[in-house]
Structure 1
Amino acid sequence: MKEKVKKNCPKCGKPARITNYDEKLNVLTKHGWIEIKYDYYFCRYCHKGFTLIDNEIGLLGEHKITLEMTDLITYAGQVAMSFEKSSEMIEKFTEIKVSESLIRLITEETGEKVFEQERKRVKESYEKPEKAAPALLERYRKEGILYIFTDGSQVNTIFKDEKGSTWREMKLGLVFYDGDSIRRKDGKMIITKKEYVTFFGGVDEFKKLLFDAAARAGYGKIRQVVFIGDGSHWIWSMCNELFPDAVHILDYYHLSENVHAFARYLYPDNEVKMKGWANDILDKIDEGLVDEVLRSLPDLKDVKLPAQVPNLKTYIENNRGRVDYRRYRLRGYYIGSGAIESGNKLVVQQRMKQSGMRWSISGGQYIASLRAKYASNQWNKVREVIGL
């Protein structure tokens, strides 16, 4: 008979004895399912049982999956187009069959840990901005531009709002320093270091995530700050609160989309006139002739326009101070959110807007948090949360 070896209880530190020898456990590893034998200890002081294998081989909670396998499952769960494709991917490269339901469970649990860790950190940053983003005197600030972009993407959920719609906005932010980007000859940029943040809900939580990302990217230490967004009122209110020294730029591509939508409304049956009118409006705005454009636009405040058609005159009036594109170009500023648009596709749409997909708010948030880390080249932070 085996000797009853004593080990100290990890909870109270007092001696515990083995009560069960050679228990068997199937563990999922990167090499497949492996049977492990272990001894079970019981502490008579705090009445808790424990084993030594969790710490010795690294297991995720009660799932009996190694931490390395947890990382693999989580990565596949967020990077593939669906949990079904994640299962196929894992089996293809490891010859290990992992069910879709287990992949969803592990991926969302890991995403929740990542998200909650972020919420704790950003709360402190937002409540103590003087510590998170201490403002240096102008002469001590680094040359360059800190860019902050925001946008949103509609994601289908399992819940209906008061109007019967199941679509909710996933807010997305992008922050980068222009010293970490390369401008190509065609004017497009390649960003070598960036950070995306996401939130499936209102601005009150999203702005904390965005401010924290900007603070870590150098807000308060870089000479210029440029904030690019669409015409949504909440975006500019948030910018005024968080980044009062930022230059506001109305995203040129959003402006162009709205101009063309209004042109189609004016000339629904004449594409030549529609395109000519839209290009003329955009050219005049580019040349700084905004007042001339406003005088030429019809006042439709009392007209009910189709859902996808903006009141262009009101839209431009509300953003009058954010459309001086000629001056922005002379200063070398980016004026469009191509980076955030591609980010929306990469972070949100590729994974969360496939045919038939509908999400819970929490599940959608957890996947989006993982996607943001993946798109920001920060998967090491996910591994840290897992315990690797």
Structure 2
Amino acid sequence: MVFTDGDTRLRDLQMSVLPDAAHVLDWYHLTRRLTVLRNVVNGKDAAEQLPSREHNRISGWVESIRWRLWHGRPAKAIARLDCLLNILDRPALADKAVVTRVRKLATGLRRYLNNNSDSLPDYGRRYRAGERISTAFVESAVNQIIDKRMSKSQQMRWSPHSAHLLLQVKTCVLDDRLRQDFARWYPGFPANDSTVRTTA
């Protein structure tokens, strides 16, 4: 089983390397899109620009889309998105600035779901069964290893080779293996902190 954020290039890579593995859209990445849509729909601008009845209706539709995705009903979630887009096209709503933003987010979510429709399991069932639904823990570990110096926002540029070497060292530090490696490479190097304290 391969989890991705839904990027088609990653899916192509998966098909070339592990063609028999099932592809699953990572729940974390899916909910990020849903959360942005929900925040806009439930935000101050939407409450101010939309009639109360329509605002409540649209908010309910967004929640029902999330519910359907969690419960393994992607076709029904996409159908709900289509209905939501039809509601947003009504003349009374179409010219509102917040509706333009909601329409853009809903259209992007629809395209995202269509591109990954074969990779949307019943997340709720998987979660209750103790099966993985996300790789957020892996991303957290990668972020810890890579750290701020390697982030895209930094001006420093790393060659792939240099980055690989740095990641090897950083991983050894996080796994508490660097001291043992040095002790193996350099006989007489203290193997652990207690040896250092004893020597001192």
TM-score by length of 1: 0.34
Deviations 1:97-130 (A, max 9, x none): xxxxxxxxxxxxxxxxxxxxxxxxxxxxxxxxxx
Q: Within 2, Cα distance between the matches of 1:275 and 1:260?
A: 12
After superposition, give the CA deviation of every residue in 1:280-337 in whole Å (9 maximum; x if it has no partner): 322111222211111121469xxx979x957000101111111112453466420011
Q: Which residue does 1:112 correspond to in 2?
A: none
1: distance between equivalents of 2:150 and 2:5? Answer: 22
Contact 2:6 2:112 in 1 (8 A): yes
Q: 2:8 aligns with which of 226, 229, 233?
A: 233
Letter in 2 for 1:371: K
Select 2:69's aligned residue among 285, 290, 294.
Answer: 285
* Partner residue, 2:30: 255
Specify which of 156, 164, 167 is matched with residue 368 of structure 1: 167
User: What letter matches 1:337 in structure 2?
Assistant: T
Does residue 1:321 correspond to 2:118, yes or no? yes
- What is the identity, as a one-letter code, of the residue corresponding to 1:259? L
Is the 2:3–2:24 contact (alpha carbons within 8 Å) kept by the matching residues of 1?
yes
> 2:17 and 2:39 mapped to 1: Cα distance?
37
Residue 341 (structure 1) aligned with residue 139 (structure 2): yes
SS in 2 for 1:335: coil
Identity %: 19
Considering fraction of residues, name the structure with more strand: 1
Q: How far did 1:276 drift?
A: 5.2
Q: Distance in 2 between matches of 1:235 and 1:327?
A: 25
| Distance (whole Å) between structure 2 residues aligned to residue 276 and residue 343 of structure 1 | 36
> Residues 230 and 254 of structure 1 are in contact (CA less than 8 Å); yes or no, is this contact kept in structure 2?
yes
**Superposition TM-score, scaled by structure 2 size:** 0.60
1:251–1:336: 8 Å Cα contact kept in structure 2? yes
- Count of equivalent residues: 156
Superposed displacement of residue 347, structure 1: 1.3
DSSP 3-state at the match of 1:361: coil
Q: Distance in 2 between matches of 1:320 and 1:285?
A: 10
Greater per-residue helix proportion:
2
Q: 1:236 and 1:368, CA in 2 relative to 1: closer, same or farther beyond 3 A?
A: same
* Counterpart Cα distance in 2 of 1:270 and 1:296: 19
Q: How does 1:83-122 map to 2 (within 5 A)?
A: none
Unaligned runs of 5+ in 2: 48-54, 87-99, 187-200
The one-letter code matched in structure 2 to 1:370 is V
Larger RCO: 1 or 2 (CA < 8 Å, sep 6+): 2
Counterpart Cα distance in 2 of 1:380 and 1:315:
43
Change (3 A) 1:262 1:292: same
- What secondary structure sits across from 1:297 in the alignment? helix
